[in-house]
Structure 1
Amino acid sequence: MTRPNMIKATKKAIKDSPKEIFNWYLLFCTCVWSFSGVAKGFDEGNIASLVIMDSFRSRFGIAKQSEADYANTKGWIVAIATAGAVFGCLGCVWLTQRLGRTYTFQLFTIIYIAGVLGQTFSDGNLGALYATRVIAGLGIGATTVLPSVYIAEISPQPIRGLLTLQYTCCQQLGVVFGFFFNYGVTQYHANTDLQWQLPTALQVLPAVIWGIGSFFTPETPRFLLSKGKRSQALATLCRFRNLPEDHPYVQAEFQGIENQLNAEIEVVAGASTLDLVKETFADLSNRRRFMLMFSCHVLGQWSGANAITQYSPTIFGYLGIVGTESRFLATGLYAVVKFVSVLLFSIFVIDFIGRRRSLMTGIVLQIVTLAFVGAYLRATTGMSVAVIEASASAMAASRAAIVAIYIHALAWSIGWFSIPYLVSAEVFPMRIRSLNVSVLMAVHWAMYFGCSRAMPSLLAATNRFGAFFFFMGICVISLVYVFFAMPETSGRSLESMDKLFDHPWYKVHKIAYPTAEDLKPAARRELEPESKNLEEAGMADHAERTISNQEKDSHRA
């Protein structure tokens, strides 16, 4: 059976929905919350440029450090914010259940602004710079969790993926801001403190925009309903949908939210966090799900793409681009490539070729490009820029290596950048989903910190080229692991998802792609959206799942 075309299904769902639900107020709220994704990317692009500036190095007393000491200091300056992001991610998950999405978002926006201003006026004090980057990292960590939750809860089902995607795009837009703002400031304030202070301070501007905008965005209907504010929740939903309370669409969606919330409350009733942890690791199927996604986050971060982004001005310098301004321009274009490729491939590729094929394609491209860049750096070790420019073959190889870095950005966009998030949301049962996704996000930031911190020392210790071969080796391991262990999760029914994790990881490839039977419930929903038979089949599926869980509980007992 042919897999349902998600683009056609989305078009049909949009056509069948009331046109009022696609309104300017919904778009405004989405834009406000999505724009906070700029924080993560802006910091990446900005700090990558700052650490190579002569004015910055002189101001903080690191200009005269040895290469090894400078690599160590640079690693701490760049990576320390991601350490703060680990705690920001975990902290906002706890707070959002108590304060709500909007208040928590505003609180962490203030924390982020405080951290940015602290960096701007750290006045050459490395200790103050480290501390304020940790504070900013707390805010950055929260902006990687809260917007996706908010947008998913306010979006109409037919365009939920498209709206949530805007946050991801803003992350890469922030990288563009970081690099190009530095490029522009350097044009007029080179070799002054303003060269690094001004682009750092400019990070406050988008934060003020989304912070003020958040006061005009209401709490989500789902959270209001969870707090017993039923009438307020219904009124808010009507505002988002631009429809009256008695409209069938609003009534059906509100009832669906209420039923889902009641089901979640029932599912986790009486379960402590410790109980959910035990359920994750005591149950073989759940343990396999966790290990799959844990491995994906570790391998994805250590494939090197984020570290390359953070140190891209330095890396472009290795590849023959001389001059601070030229390197900023090259890294700005690199950020543009990532932004455009994330947007295009997320919309037009992933749903056509699936998660598994998309991820393997991206990893293969990473392996090829990392191998080429590593080989080029190995061949030109000890050669000066003048010697390289004097050789036609060396110059051709230099240009090819630069192109390879851009292709590597594209490879990351269609592979490790988004797939772990998509699959994490699909593989875990509802009962343990929230806990596991939170823990895995913390793992993501911890690995991000480790790789970012290690990158400058790795470049220095391996004569530059060794770092790229190291990342290539991780990608080779990733490709083997993904081939054997990663299933195609898109479109699968609940039952077929459970069957995947009844097998050891190295046997998943034999049943990785869904059969016609695995896709049958999804296909029936597309072809017969209002069929009574479908409703009965769904009830039977739910009953079978309940019985299966009861049998597992009895077995564990």
Structure 2
Amino acid sequence: MGLLTKIEDRPTPRNVYNWRVYFSSAVAAFAAVMIGYDSAFIGGTIALPSFKAEFGLDRLAAAEVNFLSANIVSCYQAGCFFGALFGYPIGQLWGRKKGLMFAAAVFVLGAGLMLGANAQRGLGILYAGRAIAGLGIGCASNLTPIYIAEVAPPAIRGRLVGLYELGWQIGGLVGFWINYGVNKGMPAGHSQWLVPFAVQLIPGGLMGLGCIFIRESPRWLFSKGRRPEAVANLCWIRNLAQDDAYIVEEIDAMDRQHREQLATVGDGFGAPFRAVFTNRELVKRLALGGSLFIWQNGSGINAINYYSPTVFKSIGVVGTSASLLTTGIFGVIKTAVTIVWLLYLVDHAGRKVMLLIGSLGGGLCMYAVGAYIAISKPAEHSAAAGKLSSGGIAAMFFFYLWTAFYTPSWNGTPWVVNAEIFDQHVRTLTQASCAANNWFWNFMVSRFTPQMFAAMGYGVYVFFATLMLLAIPYVWLLLPETKNVPLEDMDALFAPGVKRWKAHAIVMREVRSRTGMETGASEGGGKPAGGWVEDA
């Protein structure tokens, strides 16, 4: 099996894997570039001496600086939380495409406001801009995975939804290195810290412009009874004629699901609420999807993203330039591993397996870092030494190894799973809930990380490591594998009485039997009737 080999649920024409589906997914995924950039640049930017000097942070006690830094960072996550909730009515009533355009416009407005901050105006306009930008990002974080999942063919759905994660890492990579660049290449002053804020406008503008050229989700159009438009968009995205057998089958599945929706829960704004909260199984599934973001944030990733200078200082890295350089390498590793995850691991190794491996490896690495800090207390000695000890180098190795375990597992997989596991008629609502869960826990971590490091020291690493290991039995017992399962068959994975660690094999046997594929191929042991299909 090659790197780009696809395991299909049914015989699929090569035309389906065309530039249109990749372009549409990439445009939507630009929302993640904005998210990743913010998570990476903000901690380093507010740590620049020029920023501290302009707003008087260099004259405050450490506790006061921690308080203000936490407020600057976390007001963005607060906006994201409410934006994710507002994404439901926007995506339900306006559609995915218009919703993404609206999100991009709100983000650009907020990013523009941030540029008005200076010593005379104070931090108020910065707070307001970050909260407004957060509203746009929260809305986009709801709609982007939904849109991509709805336009993607099953064999590359994980890969395409994974573009969201790749965008996050690309944005993060730029954010980490731009702080290093302005610190080394620009004189200290107002412009030095303003440039990283201004760069936010680029991905926001590109996303808004790109949305003009993509098509609305056919599945959303079907759910609204706009069948002719839905069929036309589906044919455009798949690059196939309306009478092609593949299109006929996919339209039949959408028609069937729409009829079932009308018969069981009806249509309208409140129908998804009735469908979810009157169905115990869906409530359980919603709780499961939302809880994945508790474990994701419990890994410590956002403490590292938003406060990377603090994290590396605790290991013994001193000096603004050294801290930003180390953070930049962290971003490079995340991006490189994300590409491997995107091209191969997510659709071949699967979602569940990667979460289990990431939890075990990441937890052990985080324990190693915490043990080094507890024994050596590098923050007390690194300034005199001027460089990392051999123990410090080992701790950095385990930290970067933790990055390699975390990135292809908990970083993007929860978004992929939540975009897949719900029916079309409730997907916008459930994704709003799951995205809001992410931003709530993101807010909690970003708001209290400085205080945690001040109070707990190495205990912060022990805390996050323990949570990663506790995620292992949780995922094994409760989460079924979802790779290659058609969206219309997701309910079968959660059927009462079916053990979650066996559900994938059972469902894929049924899918392949129904669509004429050889049985047994779901676990990689056989080939589809038409053979493996690779990207041209």
Taking structure 1 as the reference length, what is the TM-score of the superposition?
Answer: 0.82
Cα contact 1:119–1:133 (8 A) shared by 2: yes
Q: Any idea what the Cα deviations from partners look like across 1:177-199, whole Å, max 9, x if unmatched?
A: 11122222223224211111011
Q: Distance in 2 between matches of 1:452 and 1:515?
A: 36
Q: Any idea what the Cα deviations from partners look like across 1:144-163, whole Å, max 9, x if unmatched?
A: 12222222333344433322
The 3-state SS of whatever aligns with 1:17 is: coil
Q: Any idea what the Cα deviations from partners look like across 1:266-325, whole Å, max 9, x if unmatched?
A: 332177465345424xx3x44543443343322321221122121112222332333323
- The residue number in structure 2 matching 1:365 is 361
Cα contact 2:347–2:484 (8 A) shared by 1: no
Instruction: Report which of the two structures shows the higher radius of gyration computed on alpha carbons.
Output: 1
Gaps in structure 2 of 5+ consecutive residues: 520-536
Q: Distance in 1 between matches of 2:431 and 2:138?
A: 14
- The residue number in structure 1 matching 2:294 is 298
1:20 equivalent to 2:31? Answer: no
Q: 2:206 aligns with which of 198, 204, 209?
A: 209
Instruction: Using the TM superposition, give the Cα deviation of residue 205 of structure 1 relative to its aligned residue in structure 2, in angstroms.
Output: 1.1
Q: Distance in 2 between matches of 1:56 and 1:342?
A: 32
- The residue number in structure 2 matching 1:55 is 50
Instruction: Using the TM superposition, give the Cα deviation of residue 350 of structure 1 relative to its aligned residue in structure 2, in angstroms.
Output: 4.3
- The residue number in structure 1 matching 2:37 is 42
The one-letter amino acid paired with 2:463 is F
Gaps in structure 1 of 5+ consecutive residues: 531-557
Q: Structure 1 residues 142 and 6 mapped into 2: Cα distance closer, same or farther (>3 Å)?
A: farther
- The residue number in structure 2 matching 1:454 is 448
Say what the alpha-carbon RMSD is for the aligned residues.
3.1
Instruction: Using the TM superposition, give the Cα deviation of residue 421 of structure 1 relative to its aligned residue in structure 2, in angstroms.
Output: 3.3
The one-letter amino acid paired with 2:438 is H
Cα contact 1:42–1:174 (8 A) shared by 2: yes
Q: 5 Å matches for 1:363-512? A: 363-381=359-377, 383-388=380-385, 395-425=389-419, 434-462=428-456, 464-488=457-481, 490=483, 497-499=493-495, 502=497, 512=501
Cα contact 1:82–1:448 (8 A) shared by 2: yes
- The residue number in structure 2 matching 1:234 is 231
Q: Which moved more, 1:352-361 or 1:369-378?
A: 352-361
The one-letter amino acid paired with 2:59 is K
Q: Structure 1 residues 495 and 228 mapped into 2: Cα distance closer, same or farther (>3 Å)?
A: closer
Q: 5 Å matches for 1:159-308? A: 159-269=156-266, 272=271, 275-276=274-275, 278-280=277-279, 283=280, 285-308=281-304
Q: Distance in 2 between matches of 1:355 and 1:424?
A: 11
Instruction: Using the TM superposition, give the Cα deviation of residue 496 of structure 1 relative to its aligned residue in structure 2, in angstroms.
Output: 6.4
Cα contact 1:377–1:465 (8 A) shared by 2: yes
Q: Structure 1 residues 273 and 262 mapped into 2: Cα distance closer, same or farther (>3 Å)?
A: closer
The one-letter amino acid paired with 1:476 is L
Q: Structure 1 residues 225 and 486 mapped into 2: Cα distance closer, same or farther (>3 Å)?
A: closer
The one-letter amino acid paired with 1:446 is F
Q: Distance in 2 between matches of 1:529 and 1:465?
A: 53
The one-letter amino acid paired with 1:279 is T
1:520 equivalent to 2:519? Answer: no
- The residue number in structure 2 matching 1:554 is none
Q: Distance in 2 between matches of 1:515 and 1:132?
A: 45
Q: Any idea what the Cα deviations from partners look like across 1:460-499, whole Å, max 9, x if unmatched?
A: 112x312112212322333343455444455787686345
Q: 1:332 aligns with which of 328, 350, 353?
A: 328
Instruction: Using the TM superposition, give the Cα deviation of residue 347 of structure 1 relative to its aligned residue in structure 2, in angstroms.
Output: 3.9
- The residue number in structure 2 matching 1:533 is none
Instruction: Using the TM superposition, give the Cα deviation of residue 45 of structure 1 relative to its aligned residue in structure 2, in angstroms.
Output: 0.9
- The residue number in structure 1 matching 2:533 is none
1:147 equivalent to 2:136? Answer: no
The 3-state SS of whatever aligns with 2:442 is: helix
- The residue number in structure 2 matching 1:119 is 114
Q: Any idea what the Cα deviations from partners look like across 1:84-142, whole Å, max 9, x if unmatched?
A: 01111111221122222222211211110111111122124222211111101111112
1:105 equivalent to 2:83? Answer: no
Q: Distance in 2 between matches of 1:513 and 1:24?
A: 35
How many residues were matched structurally?
511
Q: Structure 1 residues 243 and 402 mapped into 2: Cα distance closer, same or farther (>3 Å)?
A: same
Q: Distance in 1 between matches of 2:229 and 2:349?
A: 42
Moved over 6 A (4+): 5-9, 491-496
Identity %, equivalent residues: 29
- The residue number in structure 2 matching 1:68 is 63
1:78 equivalent to 2:77? Answer: no
Instruction: Using the TM superposition, give the Cα deviation of residue 395 of structure 1 relative to its aligned residue in structure 2, in angstroms.
Output: 0.7
Cα contact 1:52–1:314 (8 A) shared by 2: no
